[in-house]
Structures are given as structure tokens and as C-alpha cells.
Amino acid sequence: MNALAPRPGILDIAAYQPGNPLAGGPTKYVNLASNESALGPSPRAREAYKAAAAELHYYPDGGSTRLRRAIGAVQGLDPERIVCGAGSDELLTLLARGYAGPGDEILMSEHGFAMYPITTRSVGATPVMVPDRELTADVDGFLARVTPRTRLVFIANPNNPTGTMISADEMARLRAGLPDNVLLVVDSAYAEYVVRNDYSPGVELVDAGDNTVMTRTFSKIHGLAALRIGWAYCPPAIADVLNRLRSPFNVGTPAQEAGIAAIEDVANVDKARGHNDVWRPWFEAEVAKLGLKPFPSVANFSLVEFPADEKHSAKAAHAFMQARGILLRPVGVYGLPRCLRITIGTESEMRTLVAALAEFLA
């Protein structure tokens, strides 16, 4: 008798490691490990979430119709070309399922988001890593690795965990250099934090053809990570594919209602961006004063390099902070063992962290 076995490749997946607190430590953490919002969601989103409690016995609107309309209205996009998902993670997986399979290759950058290789392997395809140039996605490197097997490119812009971005012109050059039958997925999870004027989340590339998708999330600047809401802006044929593949009720009613309130509260988004614009540069400057190396970021987190000596290493810093109830993200799995990724939290969290770093280095 043959034993039951999962499909080939599934057991090659290294399961995603979330930045959750370990059991047995302090119960109250300063959590700067998961790039969540420093200030939390719009109060209106909380109210909308609570109000949805009266409707819990009904299935949600499977098409997320009002949420898509709200996103479309705020972003100036056609709601028919938007597909909502249980986090952008779900949409990334559906895109891989829709467009790649065994024998196919999916390109991603060396220090790209950890879900890309997982998603790639989950559909039986092969992840192909493209080396970064100065911790930044290298367009020429991507183009050099295209083969007849390449079906899809995942690129986060800004990238997690490096915090770097490529310009709209560079992204357009990537699209122009890829064959037409390769899907480009521009993952713009941190788009709202970017204040540089050479940046674009990718809408114009989606509009320009039929082979580029932009994904976005409510987990970052909108502060709704617990609710799992993402959205993709797609050419119509790709929206159709996603709608065929997704589960019929993939975004719950409380999530849809809170999402509508969150995206319509533009002032709250501006406030969150403003907070980040003050405290990320402040943090990077303080860290540099302590003799550590922060890589300049355009998102709501910073990648910080620690000394090579064991006593002051990233590993030692992580353990030291964890014992004090401060959670930072080790990025060894991203091939950056000397660094920690640190989310920009509240003012008091950042001051607490900087004081603890000074103590650690003393």
C-alpha cells in the first residue's frame, strides 16, 4: 500500500515565521516585529466593525461590492477591476495559482518578502532569487533571469524587509523588458508611507496593458491587520481569474465594513503617514548616533545592521530586547543575519527602544 503523501514540493516549504511573542516571556510586549500600524485604525473603522456584530449570522457580500466601490472612489479606480482578498497574502497566492504551476519559474528578489517563495512552492513552481544591488531590487538582474519557464514576477515596492524602493521609471523598465506572457505583480503593501515623488504604486502599469497587477493591503497604514483585508487592481481578465479562484466569501462583513470606514478616513491615513515621517527619520538618526547602521527606508520600518561581534550582534540584541518585552524581527531567513527589522511604533515605544538599545550597546 502506498502511504498518503502531499504533492511534490509541499514539504520543501519552510513555513512562514510570524513575529509573535514566545510563550513564557513577559505578557505585555512592545511589538515592533510585524510592521503593523503605530497608531491603530481609524476610530470610525472600530465603530463600523462593532456595528457589524448585529449581522454575524448572515454571510458577507461575497463580491465585497461596497468595499470595492469605496476603494475605487478614494483611489480613482474602476471597482470592477478591484478584487478583495483575505489579506493581500491571499491574492498573491491566487495569482500564483492562476498563472503558474509545476515546471514554471517565479522571479523574486533575494531579500524579498518571505511569502513569495512559500506561495511559489505551494503551486509547485520554482522560486528564482534575483540578487539585490545595495539591498534594492535590481531590474537588470530580474531581466537577466527570465527564461521560457518564467511565468510571474513578484516585486514588493517598497520592499520588506529592506525598506528600499525602485522608482516608477525603473518599474516601467522592468515591465517593458519582461515578455508579454509574464505576469508582473507589484506588491505595494507600504505604498501609502512613501513620500518620494519618483515613486508610484503601479496603477499606470496596470492600466497600460493586460499583464500587470498591483496588490495593496489594509494591514499597514489602515491599521486593520487583524481583519485580513487586501485588494488587487487588475486588468479585467485577471480580475476574472481571481474571482473564479477565490473562495466565495473570502472577506467577512466586519472586515468589509471596517475597511470602508478606514479607506474613507483620509485624514487618519494622513495622520499615520505624518507620524511615520517624523519618527522613522528620528529613529534612524538615533540608531546611527549609537553606532549602528540603519538602512534608509521609505516604509514604516527600518532595517538596522548590528556589529559582527557576538556580544553586540543582531541575535544578542533580539534576545536582550525580548527579555525586556520589546519584540523586533530577526531577518536571518531573509539572508540578513546581521540585521533586525524594526517597525516604527508610537513615540513612547521608539524612545523606550532607543534607551534599551543604548543600554544593550553600553
Ligand X SMILES: Cc1ncc(COP(=O)(O)O)c(C=O)c1O
- Residues lying near ligand X in the complex (CB under 6 A): 35, 87-89, 113, 156, 160, 187, 189, 217, 219, 225, 230
C-alpha–C-alpha distance, residues 66 and 63, integer Å: 9
Query: Closer CB to ligand X, residue 230 or residue 259?
Result: 230
Query: Closer CB to ligand X, residue 64 or residue 217?
Result: 217
| Residue nearest ligand X by beta-carbon distance | 87
Let me know: does 178 contact 106? Beta carbons within 8 Å.
no
Q: What string of DSSP letters covers 168-216?
A: HHHHHHHHHHS-TTSEEEEE-TTGGG---TT---SHHHHHH-SSEEEEE
- Least distance to ligand X, CB of residue 267, Å: 23
Query: Closer CB to ligand X, residue 33 or residue 356?
Result: 33
Cell 557576538 belongs to 310
Q: What is the largest CA-CA distance in the chain?
A: 65
Let me know: does 163 contact 297? Beta carbons within 8 Å.
yes
For 47, half-sphere exposure in the C-beta direction (CA atoms, 13 angstrom radius) is 6
Query: Closer CB to ligand X, residue 35 or residue 297?
Result: 35
- Least distance to ligand X, CB of residue 32, Å: 13
Which residues, other chains included, contact 193 with Cβ-Cβ below 8 Å and sequence gap of 6+?
158, 220, 221, 273, 276, 298, 299, 300
Query: Closer CB to ligand X, residue 253 or residue 343?
Result: 343
Let me know: does 118 contact 96? Beta carbons within 8 Å.
no
- Least distance to ligand X, CB of residue 203, Å: 17
Hey, is 29 helix, strand or coil?
A: coil
- Least distance to ligand X, CB of residue 100, Å: 18
What one-character DSSP code corresponds to residue 130?
E
Query: Closer CB to ligand X, residue 150 or residue 250?
Result: 250
E strand or H helix at 89? helix 87-99
Taking alpha carbons only, the member of 240, 269, 207 closest to residue 41 is: 269
- Least distance to ligand X, CB of residue 97, Å: 16
State the CB neighbour count (10 A cutoff) for residue 6: 8
C-alpha–C-alpha distance, residues 175 and 59, integer Å: 39
Taking alpha carbons only, the member of 29, 319, 303, 63 closest to residue 159 is: 303
- Least distance to ligand X, CB of residue 128, Å: 18
Query: Closer CB to ligand X, residue 13 or residue 361?
Result: 13
Query: Closer CB to ligand X, residue 160 or residue 286?
Result: 160
- Least distance to ligand X, CB of residue 113, Å: 4
- Least distance to ligand X, CB of residue 187, Å: 5
Let me know: does 113 contact 333? Beta carbons within 8 Å.
no
- Least distance to ligand X, CB of residue 290, Å: 26
- Least distance to ligand X, CB of residue 173, Å: 21
Strand positions, DSSP E, the chain: 30-31, 82-85, 105-109, 126-130, 150-156, 183-187, 212-217, 230-233, 293-295, 301-305, 326-327, 329-330, 339-343
Query: Closer CB to ligand X, residue 219 or residue 250?
Result: 219
Query: Closer CB to ligand X, residue 295 or residue 360?
Result: 295
